[in-house]
A and B are shown apart, each in its own frame.
Chain A
Amino acid sequence: MPKPDSLQGSLDLLVLKILSRRPRLHGYAIMTAIKDMSGDVLRAEEGSLYPALHRMEEAGWIRAEWITKDTGRRARLYELTVAGKKQLAAEESRWQVVTSAVNRVLRMA
């Protein structure tokens, strides 16, 4: 089993969200998207990305497909499945609950 790291938990959410906006991305593009969209704040640890992708693939949230790029190299593109959409909604609402709770604590304390 992969070791938990700092982004664990939120990494899944970010990957799912990005794939819901932009289908068919390869691993590097997902990583770049996280970095760009968060304004360079969030940075997925490159070593954790692929085990996480493979885990989500096995869980049936995303599916992968090999394509041949113009360079002749093959790349593996990921996209969201129906189960992945549900999972995204669940994770998103969980995230909202947690962040609003954290915010409340920050405000009150």
Chain B
Amino acid sequence: MSLWSRIANVFRPERLTREIDEEIQSHIEEAIAQGRDPAEARRALGPALRLREESRDVRLIAWLDSLRADAVFGWRQIMKNKVTSAAAILSLALGIGACTSAFRLIDALLLRPLPVAEPEQLYALARQVIGPEGKPLTFDSWAYPAFHLMRAAVRGQAELIAISYAERTDLTYGSDAEMEKAYRQYVSGWMFNSFGLRPAVGRLFTESDDLRPGAHPYAVLSYDYWTSRFGRDAKVIGRTFRIGNDLYEIVGVGPERFTGTEPGTVIDIFIPTMMHPGVQRSDWTWMRTLARVKPGVAMEPLRAKLGATSRAFEEERATGLGGIPKQQIDEFLNQKLLLEPAATGVSDLQNDYRTSLAALGVLVALVLLIACANVANLMTAQAASRAREMALRVSIGAGRWRLVQLVLVESAWLAFFAAAFGGGFAWWSAPVVVSMINPPHNPARLFLPADWRVLGFGLALTVGVMLLFGLAPALRASAVKPVSALKGGEDPHSRRRLMQALIAVQTAFCFLVLFVAGLFVATFEHLSNRPTGFSAQRLLTLETVTVSPQPAALWDQVAEHLRVVPGVETVALASSVLLGGWSWNNWISVNGAPPNGVLAYLLQVSPGWIDAMKIPLIDGRDFRPADTYPGVAIVNRTFAKTYFNGEDPVGKPFEVVFSVGKRLRFEVVGLVGDVTYRDIREPILPQAYFPFHSIDAKGALQPIGQGTFIVRTSSANPLALASILRRELPRARPEFRVSNIRTQTEIDQSHNVRERLLARLALFFGVVALLLAGVGLYGVLDYSVLQRRREIAIRMALGAQAGDVARRVTVDVFGMVLVGACAGLALGFASVRYIETLLYQVKPTDPRMHALPALTILAAALLAALPPVIRAVRVDPATTLRAE
């Protein structure tokens, strides 16, 4: 009770004082009533002020009271300079908000442990080979039979868990007309148990759900999917859905926080690995392998054992490969098995964005530091104008720490408001950035909880920021010497030196931010302007699936139906889209020779495809309706260069060498221009196109289960036709259904999503940094002109010219800007190797990359210097000197 009343009394000081005074008063009245002399009674009591102070100090917490008084005073100071305070708060808020937002993203994607039991025991198995250019390449995909052997080999020391790559798939809970999409993941039956997870409803898989291929048609839903799709209906257990021709029964729902092991993707449906079509294939790598290592097991022997098992498996497999150069097989076999900690899960998004997020984190931290420097300068300038007030406080007995507290409390106000606004900014901006990460049709989903980790970071950041910008001015203010300050000013240069040093720091950071932003923007420009070799304009792609594989003639019939839809120019068919992320490759043999080790990339296309894609036909002809696979092929220039020594290959034969030793023979009927196939960054690949219609060994046409209609429309906005085409397709044949519609432009752009994001955010923060640095420069110059008014007036009175005055006022500061820019350049050179992997065809040493930030900063500095310089040259000597 007493502590509470003492705290409470801090916040009702008037009432406390009144009560004390009233009690004293009643004492005196009592004394008078007893017949004592009023003056004597008062004298006996002692000075009322001292009594009041003594009682006050007993009845409240003294330090809290002084803090309260400072808070009230600080608030008045902030309200007195509304504009500057708002500018300070805004710039700090932007910095704090951006940093917190970056932390939220980094934490959610890279730092936060999976919500499973003992996540630190989890490791991911990967393999490292030395790639064609001598650079190590790491891949984490495994074939199930290899996984099976490795699991048996380390039983007792570690539990291996197979988890497929998350995949968006079509499924239906009812008729084929009600197809929908969901993220599906194949997982080992023992995964849930090993992760220590409990079902929300129903049951989770066990080892016995994952024993025989194709024998366990069960599914576990994720809690998130259960919530969004079924509104947490417990009756969902026992319901069935169909993927392709397989019917699955829902047996349970996973725990609330578990969204799979791939940060960036929220899994909807888990299915036992034994249901994967490739579970028995040793040449199909479709899954990751996680290992839960038992405590106390030595890592290196475990790694060696896994590596030996994996190598034995691959050697066994290699004996079945015919006609592939031995050297190449050896190169593949010489792989090193890696065990990488996977407490935070494993996902491609992590690998893709690790460096990007770190780079962005550094950029926003720099922006925050620039903002801090600004506010520190602001506080220093304010402290200067308050030097007399401080001196007065010291002379009437304020201690040094009391003054530090006074100024720090004012800083705390700024930091508090900045943190509040910054928190709001982080709340809003983190999900926006996540939504920009992936292309719109396939958004990344990242859980961004605002829990103690984020709050703690924000709080620590706020306190750190407050000390950063508040401590130096506070110490400086408290070191005031009453005598010199009251006499009319101490050495003004010492204060200006601190401010100018901060200007140099600001300029250096600003230069760095602009330099990096320039690199990112140039990378994005180069990538988006890279020629693809085909025209994406007005192209719409319709990924289509059928209930069961349909005769080839029906696909042609549907294409024919789409061709007459108004607004459609041409329609072609292909097994997939270019740059769609899908790829099919194989070795090529010419004249029966062994393959030269370069893989060719393959695609099945219908007649009219090269025309629809506007790929130039250089020689030969397009496919005809009767052409089939195997039989004839169209190849690109790079293919001719790679396998035919650059000669015109039209009319010549080649063979595709399959791993199992099977060879298929094709005759080149056409030569076309080069196009990008898989990734917009990589060099052009040798490509061969085959007819869309396949025949089996007996010459019978094969039915087709999925394909992509490539539609060139006549309107500039192809998406306008999307809904019509989606309706028309099943109208042509009810077995056909569109599973995805995208424009080719969107597909092309999905390759520079990361670069676009980096370029946009870096540019945004570059502008902010420039703005802040400009404001800071303006503030310092303005302050220095104000301080040197007398000096300027005297100089002008003695005949100094305007140019001379302007030079005098600005020369120091511009020197600092120069120093800062040089430091920024050095920082840029030092830091560029960390972001090299994010750049594309951009040379950090390119002088243009330096000139741009330098010129921008110079322009900003000139602009910021203009108003103070004008003010300086307009100083009227007569008025100024008379006023002083």
A interface residues with partner B (beta carbon < 8 Å): 1-2, 26-29, 32, 46-47, 50-51, 54-55, 57-60, 71, 73-76
Contacts and interface: CB of A to CB of B under 8 A. Distances in A.
Contacts of A74: 22, 26
Given A26-B26, A71-B29, A75-B23, 6 more contacts: A1-B57, A28-B31, A46-B45, A47-B46, A54-B59, A75-B26
A55 B6 CA distance: 11
A27 B23 contact: yes
11 contacts: A1-B57, A29-B30, A46-B46, A47-B46, A50-B20, A50-B51, A51-B51, A58-B2, A58-B6, A58-B59, A60-B1
Contacts of A50: 20, 23-24, 27, 51, 54-55
Contacts of B6: 58
B491 to A, nearest CB: 40
B716 interface: no
Interface of B: 1-2, 5-6, 19-20, 22-27, 29-31, 34, 44-46, 50-51, 54-55, 57-59
A76 B2 contact: no
The 4 A-B residue pairs whose C-beta atoms are closest, nearest first, are A47-B46, A28-B30, A51-B54, A54-B58
A27 B58 contact: no
A47 B27 contact: no
Contact of B30 (A2, A26, A51, A57): A26
Contact of B5 (A28, A51, A58, A73): A58
Contacts of A27: 23, 26-27
Contacts of A1: 57
A75 B26 CA distance: 6
Nearest to A3: B54
Contacts of A28: 26-27, 30-31, 34
Nearest to A58: B2
A76 B46 contact: no
B44 A46 contact: yes
A9 to B, nearest CB: 17
A76 B21 CA distance: 11
Contacts of A2: 54, 58
Nearest to B31: A28
Provide the main secondary structure of the chain A interface. Answer: helix
A50 B44 CA distance: 13
Contacts of B24: 50
A1 B2 CA distance: 17
B59 A76 contact: no
Contact of B29 (A54, A59, A73): A73
A47 B31 contact: no
Which of B29, B30, B31 has the largest number of chain A CB atoms within 10 A? Answer: B30
Which of A54, A57, A71 has the largest number of chain B CB atoms within 10 A? Answer: A54
A51 B27 contact: no
A54 B55 contact: yes
A54 B53 CA distance: 12
Nearest to B59: A54
A2 B46 CA distance: 13
Contact of B51 (A26, A47, A57): A47
Which of A29, A32, A51 has the largest number of chain B CB atoms within 10 A? Answer: A51
A63 to B, nearest CB: 9
A58 B4 CA distance: 10
B519 to A, nearest CB: 63
A20 B40 CA distance: 30
A76 B23 contact: yes
Contacts of A71: 29
A29 B30 CA distance: 9
B46 A51 contact: no
Given A28-B31, A46-B46, A50-B55, A76 B26 contact: yes
Contacts of B55: 50-51, 54
Contacts of B57: 1
A14 to B, nearest CB: 17
A59 B26 contact: no
Contacts of A29: 30
Nearest to B53: A51
Contacts of B23: 27, 50, 75-76
Contacts of A51: 51, 54-55, 58
A73 B58 CA distance: 25
Nearest to B43: A46
Contacts of B2: 57-60
Contacts of B51: 47, 50-51
Nearest to A75: B26
A54 B19 CA distance: 11
Contacts of A58: 2, 5-6, 58-59
A51 B20 CA distance: 10
A21 to B, nearest CB: 20
Contacts of A73: 25-26, 29
Contacts of B29: 71, 73
Contacts of A32: 34
A32 B30 CA distance: 11
Nearest to A56: B58
A15 to B, nearest CB: 14
A76 B20 CA distance: 10
A44 B59 CA distance: 21
Contacts of B45: 46-47
A93 B50 CA distance: 33
Contacts of B46: 46-47
A74 B20 CA distance: 12
Contacts of B1: 60
A73 to B, nearest CB: 6
B250 to A, nearest CB: 63
B38 to A, nearest CB: 14
A59 B6 CA distance: 11
A26 B33 CA distance: 14
Nearest to B46: A47
B116 to A, nearest CB: 51
Contacts of B50: 47
A55 B23 CA distance: 15
